[in-house]
């Protein structure tokens, strides 16, 4: 079996490792945007190309007799690579273009939930001009969010108190979007604790993964600019210390209802990973956004905990056979921390050498935006490497992950607080204070 991975970050390294671990006979291929040395080691062939060029992807797949493709990042999904691969006889773990709109269009996701009576949205309205925006902002008051409708690599969302300090500033941002010919969503700001709940979906059945908490801010104490995610943790019971059982169940139910809504709307099922970004509020669990893929870093947590055969899971997603597939996760906690170049995310340094030789357990290390020049490991500009520890408790996993990441040498920094008891206690206290 020839399996293609599209993408080359730490998420795709985790996917490659999970496939590699399977005893099934297979060859792993990768179409990459950088020469990730961790993925390269596990692959039969890896090529750096423009992964958003569907024709190149299809050509490569035909030439190499690929039967199954796993799509890591959102852009190829939004470009319809799954539709094109399907026409060429290649099955995929990832949704079609029209279904990938669940991530690629914020208004599509909100409108779908409204249309199918899934009560998980804040108050919201979709706009193409400034007509009616002021009145809606007045209606929302102090807590509002303005979101560019399309993919923006996490930079399209502006939140009051964080990025916008007045209705005037919000109007200015709306104007900016309109100038570029864009659509936007204005919505109520939700207050609470965020978490990720990802589900495998084969078009008929959903299997939920453990809940994870990501940390978007660059610096300890949730300070500094937003990033792609600095690190994540998950608990041994697959819930999170600040959530109650009903809240995890609610998030699972929202994913199931959303997959069912997509099926009703388009007449066929969603195949791939459905990733709900949720927030537990005083008013229940609400949806912040949907992603149509694995989270990064969330994939490193769940795939490190996965006990079952990942090749089986991927083929079952493609063949709609999840119901008959064994899927279990270790009842252990996990902590993932990213080491990122100094200056990340605004002005990351590039081209400098780092050294990971002292990482004790190679299976804990995931390569992201790095390349090899001879024997030297070189920073390529974005999040560099991640470590994941799996232990009995979050605090034990935190200690191991922290120890390992501190052994990595180079002009890097990481968040020391992710998974620490004091951070988790703050999350619990926050939920207590708003419940
Ligand atoms: P998104 O790209 O939609 O995940 O938004 C990025 C971040 O903006 C989220 O992780 C939240 O922290 C924040 N955000 C988005 N929508 C809301 C909302 N309605 N209320 C509060 N924060 C939000
Ligand atoms: N962890 C955030 C994301 O993958 O979008």
CATH code, 50:
3.40.50.20
Atom in ligand 1 nearest the alpha carbon of residue 288? 16
User: What is the CB < 6 Å shell around ligand 2?
Assistant: 214, 229, 291, 295-296, 298
Closest ligand 2 atom, residue 196 Cα: 1
Q: Is 305 helix (H, G, I), strand (E, B) or coil?
A: helix
Task: Identify the residue whose C-alpha is closest to ligand 2 atom 4.
Answer: 295
Residue 149: nearest ligand to its CA?
A: 1
* Nearest Cα residue to 240 out of 207, 260, 206, 215: 215
Q: What residue's CA is closest to ligand 1, atom 12?
A: 194
- Over residues 249-286, the pLDDT tens digits come to 999 999 999 999 999 999 999 999 999 999 999 999 99
CA–centroid distance, residue 359 to ligand 2 (Å)? 25
Closest residue by Cα to atom 1, ligand 1, is: 289
Instruction: Look at residue 315 and give its three-state secondary structure.
Output: helix
From 137, 161, 188, give the residue that closes a domain.
188
244 and 362 inside one domain: yes
Name residues whose C-beta falls within 8 Å of residue 302's C-beta, 6 or more positions apart in sequence.
Answer: 198, 209, 210, 212, 234, 294, 329
Q: Is residue 77 part of a domain?
A: yes
Does 112 reside within a domain? no
Whether 372 and 259 share a structural domain: yes
For 137-205, where are the E strands, in sequence order?
144-148, 157-159, 184-188, 192-202
Whether residues 183 and 217 fall in one domain: no
pLDDT score recorded for residue 155: 85
**Residue 324 Cα to ligand 2 middle (Å):** 29
In this structure, the answer to whether residues 42 and 136 fall within a common structural domain is no
Does residue 204 share a domain with residue 133? no
Handedness of CA 402, 403, 405, 409 (dihedral sign): positive
Same domain membership, residue 366 and residue 345: yes
Shared domain for 362 and 214, answered yes or no, is: yes
Domain count for the chain: 3
Cα 390 versus chain centre, distance? 19
Alpha helices in 281-371 (DSSP H): 298-305, 310-318
| Residue range 371-427, pLDDT digits in tens | 999 999 999 999 999 999 999 999 999 999 999 999 999 999 999 999 999 999 999
Instruction: Indicate whether 80 belongs to any domain.
Output: yes
CATH number at residue 213: 3.30.470.20
Top mutation candidate among 104, 193, 289 for ligand 1, by most atoms within 8 Å of CB? 289
pTM beyond cutoff 0.95:
yes
Structure confidence at residue 154 (pLDDT): 80
C-beta of residue 385 within 8 angstroms of C-beta of residue 408: yes
Q: What mean pLDDT value characterizes the chain?
A: 97
- Provide Rg for the chain, Cα atoms: 21
What does the pLDDT read at residue 404? 97
Which among 24, 39, 66 has a CA at the least distance from the CA of 313? 24
Same domain, 65 and 155: no
* pLDDT for residue 153: 84
| Per-residue pLDDT tens over the stretch 164-221 | 999 999 999 999 999 998 899 999 999 999 999 999 999 999 999 999 999 999 999 9
* pLDDT tens per residue, range 26-46: 999 999 999 999 999 999 999
pLDDT computed for residue 102 by the predictor = 98
CB-CB neighbours of 56 under 10 Å = 14
Mean pLDDT of the 218-233 span: 95
- Mark whether 223 and 338 lie in a shared domain: yes
Domain end point (choices 188, 211, 232): 188
What pLDDT, in 10s, does the model give residues 58-108?
999 999 999 999 999 999 999 999 999 999 999 999 999 999 999 999 999
How far apart are the CA of 87 and the centre of ligand 1, in A?
Answer: 36
Q: Which of 162, 188, 214 is the last residue of a domain?
A: 188
Instruction: Quick: pLDDT tens for 95-123.
Output: 999 999 999 999 999 999 999 999 999 99
The enclosing H or E element of 245 equals: helix 245-266
Q: Do 299 and 178 fall within a single domain? A: no
Verify that 180 and 76 share a domain, yes or no.
no
Range of the domain at 77: 2-99
For ligand 1, the distance from its centroid to the CA atom of residue 170, given in whole angstroms, is 15
Nearest C-alpha neighbor of 187 from the set 163, 166, 157: 157
In a domain, 435, yes or no: no
Task: Examine residue 118 and state whether it is found in any structural domain, yes or no.
Answer: no
Domain co-membership, 400 together with 274:
yes
- Whether 364 contacts 305, CB under 8 Å: no
168 domain-assigned: yes
């Amino acid at each position: 079996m020839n399996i293609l991975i599209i993408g080359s970050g730490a998420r795709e390294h985790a996917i490659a490792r999970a496939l590699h671990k399977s005893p099934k006979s297979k060859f792993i291929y990768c179409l990459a945007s950088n020469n990730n040395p961790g993925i390269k080691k596990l692959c039969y062939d890896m090529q750096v190309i423009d992964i958003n060029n569907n024709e190149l992807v299809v050509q490569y797949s035909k030439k190499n007799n690929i039967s199954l493709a796993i799509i890591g990042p959102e852009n190829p999904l939004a470009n319809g690579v799954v539709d094109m691969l399907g026409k060429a006889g290649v099955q995929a773990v990832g949704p079609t273009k029209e279904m990938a709109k669940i991530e690629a269009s914020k208004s599509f996701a909100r409108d779908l939930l409204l249309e199918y009576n899934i009560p998980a949205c804040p108050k919201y309205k979709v706009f193409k001009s400034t007509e009616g925006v002021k009145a809606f902002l007045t209606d929302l008051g102090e807590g509002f969010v303005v979101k560019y409708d399309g993919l923006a690599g996490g930079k399209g969302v502006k939140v009051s108190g964080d990025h916008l300090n007045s209705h005037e500033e919000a109007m200015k941002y709306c104007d900016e979007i309109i100038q570029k010919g864009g659509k936007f969503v204005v919505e109520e700001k939700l207050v609470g604790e965020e978490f990720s709940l990802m589900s495998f979906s084969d078009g008929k059945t959903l299997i939920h993964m453990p809940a994870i908490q990501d940390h978007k801010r660059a610096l300890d104490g949730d300070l500094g600019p937003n990033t792609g995610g600095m690190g994540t943790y998950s608990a041994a019971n697959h819930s999170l210390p600040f959530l109650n059982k009903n809240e995890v169940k609610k998030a699972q139910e929202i994913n199931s209802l959303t997959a069912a809504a997509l099926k009703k709307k388009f007449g066929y099922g969603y195949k791939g990973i459905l990733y709900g970004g949720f927030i537990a509020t005083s008013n229940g669990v609400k949806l912040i956004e949907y992603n149509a893929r694995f989270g990064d870093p969330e994939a490193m947590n769940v795939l490190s905990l996965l006990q079952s055969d990942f090749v089986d899971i991927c083929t079952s997603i493609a063949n709609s056979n999840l119901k008959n597939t064994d899927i279990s996760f270790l009842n252990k906690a996990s902590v993932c921390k990213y080491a990122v170049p100094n200056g990340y995310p605004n002005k990351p340094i590039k081209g400098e050498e780092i050294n990971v030789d002292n990482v004790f357990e190679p299976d804990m290390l995931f390569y992201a935006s790095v390349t090899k020049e001879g024997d030297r490991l070189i920073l390529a500009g974005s999040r560099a490497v991640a470590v994941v520890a799996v232990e009995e408790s979050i605090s034990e996993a935190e200690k191991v992950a922290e120890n390992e990441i501190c052994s990595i040498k180079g002009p890097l920094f990481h968040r020391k607080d992710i998974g620490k008891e004091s951070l988790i206690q703050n999350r619990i206290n926050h939920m207590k204070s708003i419940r």
